Structure 1
Amino acid sequence: MNINDYILKEIKALTLDNSVLVADDLCKELPITHIPVVEENKLIGCFAEDDIQTIENKEANLSEYTYLLHQFHCNTKTTLLELITLFAENDCNIIPVLDEKLNYVGYYELRDILDVFADSPFMHQDNETLIVAKSKSDFSMSQVSQIVESNKAKLLGLYVSKENADNVEITIKLSTEEINEVIQTFRRYDYAVISQHKDDSYLEELKDRANYLRKYLDM
């Protein structure tokens, strides 16, 4: 998969000589949060739809409102996960794309990028998702990978999904037929297993003991 195949050019970038009315009409016509503005093939910035709607003088040129421009973009080497982060950080559904010479070449649309991510092996439904936690001082990516692969499981991807001053939470995507073995190994290395799994024999044992104790107390 080449993420550059999803660069779009259907929406023509505006220039600072365009009127606010042109930008406003574009926002009304298309479900976009931002409009790229380009001068001589160089990205000047993006006007947000919300800002365009607040400008009362629709006949004025966009050049009078450059202070409203938002500065964000990606390049042709930006990865899929980096793109998703950019969309989230800028609360947008369009991200301008620049080439190695910083020329504007088009844009990515959020819907396309999410579809690509959903179709990736990382998100495939046949795979297992395991969430574990450990103290920051003891955590290492290499150890997580070693634990997964030592149990003959295939590591598809992982990322830090949550952290605080003391602990980190890691979401792991893996392919295995013996998830219980992976889970028990993580516990032996003092990882807390956050996600719940039907094949987790440790939890089943705890449930059995709890049920036995409950029956004992009810006698």
Structure 2
Amino acid sequence: MLAKDLISDVIPALRTSDTGMQTLNWMEAFRVSHLPIVNNKVFLGLVSDSDIYDAKNTEEPLGNYRLSLIKPYVYGHQHIYDVIEIASRLKLSLIPVLDSDGNYLGAITSHNLLHHFSDLIAAHTPGGILQIEVGVRDYSLSEIARIVEDCDSKILSLYLTQSPDGRQLYITIKLNRTDMLPIVRSFERYGYKIRAEYGAELHIDETAIRNYESLMKYLNV
């Protein structure tokens, strides 16, 4: 999933002749706190709402402002992970996208970014989520995939985080099934620690069912 495929088709590019008030109105309309200033496809920088609020006269054109312009951008061929990294690090509401010649192509909003990222991790696809724990040295993606596939299941998405001391890996797996009991038991047999399950079907063993039925019979006496 590349940056050029994430561009919003509604975000306007500002000109230096646009006023501060016009800029604020567009920011409010599109629910962003940054907008790009572009001159003949040349990206000049991002203007923020704080730049406008700091000015005394919002009717002045942007060209007359003393703007603290920042120039973050990604190229159209960069991956969505690069876009997320820059947006997160700089706390931006949108990211400009340039072509290989440096020409402005458009912008990616944080809303669009979240929407496409949710597709990337199969957030909208039905299924259960399992989080397991394993030592860094014991991590094997092929083994994890084999355990899941041996239970007639598929991995829809998978991502890793490390423990604070760096010794353990927390592996979050999105699966194509909600009945995860066979998979949980299989991971446990291989020595994996189960940290959490989400969206799993509720399992009640036969003993619990018999105890419940006995209680109901007793109450009906």
TM-score normalised by structure 2 residue count: 0.71
Cα distance, 1:200 vs structure 2: 7.0
Structure 1 window deviating more from structure 2 (112-121 vs 95-104): it is: 112-121
The aligned counterpart of 1:104 is 104
CA distance, structure 2, for counterparts of residue 177 and residue 15 of structure 1: 52
Q: Which amino acid aligns with 1:185?
A: S
Kindly indicate whether the alpha-carbon contact (under 8 Å) linking 2:148 and 2:155 is maintained by their aligned counterparts in 1: yes
Unaligned runs of 5+ in 1: 209-219
The aligned counterpart of 1:43 is 43
Q: Which amino acid aligns with 1:172?
A: I
Q: Which amino acid aligns with 1:32?
A: V
Q: Which amino acid aligns with 1:101?
A: D
CA distance, structure 1, for counterparts of residue 51 and residue 9 of structure 2: 23
Q: 1:170 and 2:177 equivalent? A: no
Change (3 A) 1:131 1:100: same
Q: Which amino acid aligns with 1:127?
A: G
CA distance, structure 2, for counterparts of residue 71 and residue 162 of structure 1: 32
Cα distance, 1:130 vs structure 2: 1.0
| TM-superposition CA deviations, 1:98-149 (whole Å, max 9, x none) | 2232211111233334334445671135212111122223224333333323
RMSD (CA atoms): 3.6
Q: Which amino acid aligns with 2:132?
A: V
Change (3 A) 1:71 1:187: farther
Q: Which amino acid aligns with 2:181?
A: N
| TM-superposition CA deviations, 1:79-113 (whole Å, max 9, x none) | 44554454443433322122232211111233334
Q: 1:89 and 2:77 equivalent? A: no
Unaligned runs of 5+ in 2: 209-221
Q: 1:23 and 2:23 equivalent? A: yes
Where do residues 56-71 of structure 1 align in structure 2 (5 Å cutoff)? 56-58=56-58, 59=60, 61-62=62-63, 65-66=66-67, 68-71=68-71
Partner SS for 1:142:
helix
The aligned counterpart of 1:179 is 180
CA distance, structure 2, for counterparts of residue 189 and residue 2 of structure 1: 37
The aligned counterpart of 1:211 is none
CA distance, structure 2, for counterparts of residue 174 and residue 82 of structure 1: 26
Kindly indicate whether the alpha-carbon contact (under 8 Å) linking 1:179 and 1:199 is maintained by their aligned counterparts in 2: no
| TM-superposition CA deviations, 1:162-214 (whole Å, max 9, x none) | 5422222111112247622322232233321112344679xx79xx8xxxxxx
The aligned counterpart of 1:32 is 32
Where do residues 186-197 of structure 1 align in structure 2 (5 Å cutoff)? 186-196=187-197, 197=200
- Higher RCO (CA 8 Å, separation ≥ 6 residues): 2
Q: 1:127 and 2:140 equivalent? A: no
CA distance, structure 2, for counterparts of residue 95 and residue 82 of structure 1: 11
Kindly indicate whether the alpha-carbon contact (under 8 Å) linking 1:133 and 1:194 is maintained by their aligned counterparts in 2: yes
The aligned counterpart of 2:211 is none
TM-score normalised by structure 1 residue count: 0.71
Structure 1 window deviating more from structure 2 (21-30 vs 157-166): it is: 21-30
CA distance, structure 2, for counterparts of residue 182 and residue 79 of structure 1: 32
CA distance, structure 2, for counterparts of residue 45 and residue 142 of structure 1: 45
